[in-house]
A and B are shown apart, each in its own frame.
Chain A
Amino acid sequence: MKNALYTIFAISICLLLGKLANFLLAALPASLYGMIIYALFLQFNWFSPEKITKTNQWFIKHMGVCLVPAGMGIINHFQLIQQHGLALVFIIFSSTFILLTVIGYLSERYLITPDNINSQTAEGSK
């Protein structure tokens, strides 16, 4: 419980700083500034990563529900889907595959690293 409050406090502070950064610098949305500030604070250990991890993971796991109201707007677009459904799917499909191909191909070609990095990354990911 204490850690949950700590996490909420940490996130709120970072969001507040993000709003300030957005007000001063514009460029990125406040929440993205908040995300970067949050990551930096964790990196500098100003907020303890151990304390926030559990609540934070819970937050990320359930964040999808916050997106439902935005997605529900599709209710106003039946006509668009009827008229342009195929075009929509075609655009999404083709641009997704172009992106996969461009990034996949370039990364395969230009991100060459010594093999010892691989073992580090594997353990850092979980």
Chain B
Amino acid sequence: MLSTFIVNSPILASIFFTIITIATYQFAAACQQKWQYIWLNPMLFTISILVPFLLLVDINYQEYSHTTEVLNLLLEPAIVALGLPLYQQFKQIRFYWREMTAILILGITVVITVSFLLAMWLIKAPEIAVALSLKSVTTPIGITLTEQLSGDSSITAFAILIAGLFGALLGPQWLSFIGVNSAKAQGLAVGSASHVIGTAVLVRKSAEHGAYSSVALILSAILTALISPWLIPLIQQLFN
């Protein structure tokens, strides 16, 4: 029934699905605000409600993504808006940007290589391997990069979410366990591994944790965008 609705009145269908998506998301965000659970992630919550809904009304993914195109278009300006936190952190970046860049480049190279090789070994699908190797950056940028490298961006979106939750829930404890205790190091590590989700948790520890975490989140996104377009094809060649 709904799929004929999409064919007959595409504009109304667009409005309908976009509003449903936004409303579900807002509801989830309100719940998280109220209870403050990290795992009550609005995106995860929205997807786990909308997937059964689409299956129930028999709408496939292509139809859905077509009707909610407008949300996808907003992704680019949303990334530009991240320039504000970047500007706010310039002071810290300026102070030791060389060391931070070197450390992050090393970390990113290791994580891309390890994820790609593990994925090729265990799952043997290049588009999944690309998606998994880009899972440590913030979601909008991860999706953009995955599409650029012809990976599967829905897998990226999910992997980013899970990596974010792991790092946010267990990251600080793990770091203390291996003797990494300074706010700077914990912030950089969790920010680069678990992006926004990790940063949201670290801010509660101290402002310094949060500041370094957001530096790492943005810097590692930029560096990943610079490194991945040549590193990933290079590793891919090993399998040809």
Contact = CB atoms under 8 A, between A and B. Distances in A.
Contacts of A117: 95
A122 B207 CA distance: 5
A67 B81 contact: no
B89 to A, nearest CB: 8
Given A122-B206, A124-B92, A72 B51 contact: yes
A69 B80 contact: no
A76 B65 CA distance: 12
Interface string A58-97: 0110111111111111111100100010011111111111
Contacts of A118: 183, 208
Given A68-B25, A124-B91, A93 B206 contact: no
A91 B207 contact: no
Given A43-B87, A72-B65, A96-B136, A34 B80 contact: yes
A38 B80 contact: yes
Contacts of A106: 103, 106-107
B226 interface: yes
Contacts of A31: 75-77, 79-80, 140-141, 144
A108 B25 contact: no
B122 A36 contact: no
Given A14-B83, A31-B76, A71-B158, 19 more contacts: A38-B84, A43-B87, A59-B81, A60-B82, A66-B72, A69-B65, A72-B61, A72-B154, A73-B61, A73-B154, A74-B158, A91-B115, A91-B122, A92-B132, A100-B167, A108-B184, A110-B103, A111-B184, A123-B207
A104 B43 contact: no
Interface of B: 21-22, 25-26, 29, 42-43, 46-47, 50-51, 54-55, 60-61, 64-65, 68-69, 71-72, 74-92, 95-96, 99-100, 103-104, 106-107, 110-111, 114-115, 118-119, 122-123, 128, 132, 135-136, 139-141, 143-145, 148, 152-159, 161-163, 166-167, 171, 174-175, 178-186, 188-190, 192-194, 206-208, 210-212, 214, 216, 221-222, 225-226, 229
Given A42-B87, A66-B72, A103-B104, A18 B64 contact: no
Contact of A108 (B29, B96, B179, B225): B179
A71 B47 contact: yes
A122 to B, nearest CB: 4
B225 A29 contact: yes
A68 B167 contact: no
